[in-house]
Amino acid sequence: MKVRVRLGKNVGGSGYGVQKRYGDAFRKEFQEKRLEKEKKEHIKELGLEEDISIGEDLWRINIESKVPYKEWWDSEIDEDSITSYILHPVTNWKEDKEIAKVMLTKEERRKLRRGRRREKAERIRDLEKLGIIKNEIPDVDLKFGGTGLEMAIEEERRIKRAKHDEMNLQRKEEARSRKEEKREEKLDRDMEKGIYRCVVSVGKGKLNDGKNRYKVNVNGREMGIKGVCVSIRESEGGDGSGVVIFEGGRVSVDKYKKLLVERSEIGEVIWVGEVGKCVFNKWSYYEFNEMVELIEFLNSKGGKVWIYQTNFNNKINK
């Protein structure tokens, strides 16, 4: 038995929202007509109705649309006019802003230095050719004369060589002074954060070795720390032991302590901590004949330094 499928009838009608749009348009038109009618009645009540007999209706203008914002002849000189261009604010660069230096290799710095000197020599040579400046020592050569010019040439070479050596020495001193100033500033900034003191006990026989004495003394001076290294002379029966007391900023103290304890393995730390002020004014290295002199020296520094010599004495007696 076949099932008969019945198709529904296609009933035509308006689409979704069509009648609503018709209604909205009709209401809007009705509202506009009502407002126009009320406006005319209001004008009539005020007595401002147009007189058709004299043609006032022909001179009706829309003030809002006809009156221009500005005249055409003022458009070019009006600075307040709006254009399509955008004026971005000018960046306020600080004059004292430090620009990071470019890190160059030794060969690159040498190449730049040679270039600067070459350009400077060329500028001076051009000024001499133009007669703006006068060459102090004219160039001479043996081929223009004979033995009569030999002494003058040798004198010229000697003067130029001496001037060259003097300039090199001056640049070397300036570079050394700049390096020392930067080092002092770095140490001062480190000490502003706090002053630290460390005491390292040097083991037996360590200071009898000249290499160890050199490491302790020279590195103490070069690192800019303050303190002292004391020991008993080997000729007076000393066993090569001693104590190193140093103070300074935290970075400097940690660096020197690491050199003595970890890298060189010369001694071990007795005490380290932050203190209020420095006891030592510079770095020193002393060798005493007797233990009594060493203890008196440590006691002369005052404060709690006597604790260090007590610990040092205990280390020696072990």
CATH number at residue 211: 3.30.70.100
Query: Does residue 101 form part of some domain?
Result: no
Q: Count Cα atoms within 13 angstroms, Cβ side, for 231.
A: 27
Q: What is the mean pLDDT of residues 206-211?
A: 81
Give the domain extent around 301: 193-317
pLDDT in tens, 9-21: 666 666 777 888 8
pLDDT at 194: 86
Asked whether residue 249 falls in the same domain as residue 214, the answer is yes
Number of domain units in the chain: 2
Asked whether residue 201 falls in the same domain as residue 298, the answer is yes
Q: What is the mean pLDDT of the chain?
A: 79
Which of 117, 152, 187 delimits the end of a domain?
Answer: 187
pLDDT in tens, 249-269: 888 889 999 988 888 888 888
Asked whether residue 137 falls in the same domain as residue 217, the answer is no
Asked whether residue 164 falls in the same domain as residue 227, the answer is no
Cβ-in-10-Å burial (0-12, 13-18, 19+) of 35 comes to: exposed
Q: With CA atoms as reference, report the closest residue to 231 among 296, 289, 159.
A: 289
Q: With CA atoms as reference, report the closest residue to 279 among 295, 303, 299, 297.
A: 303
Asked whether residue 208 falls in the same domain as residue 236, the answer is yes
pLDDT at 303: 42
pLDDT in tens, 143-175: 666 666 778 778 888 999 999 999 999 999 999
> Would you tell me the crossing angle of helices 291-300 and 305-317 to the nearest 10 degrees?
160
Asked whether residue 173 falls in the same domain as residue 131, the answer is yes
- The three-state secondary structure class of 306 is helix
| Least confident among 31-40, 69-78, 139-148, 157-166 | 139-148
| Least confident among 115-119, 132-136, 141-145, 169-173 | 141-145
Asked whether residue 126 falls in the same domain as residue 183, the answer is yes
Query: Does residue 239 form part of some domain?
Result: yes
Query: Does residue 205 form part of some domain?
Result: yes
Asked whether residue 199 falls in the same domain as residue 177, the answer is no
Determine contact, residues 259/219, Cβ cutoff 8 Å.
yes
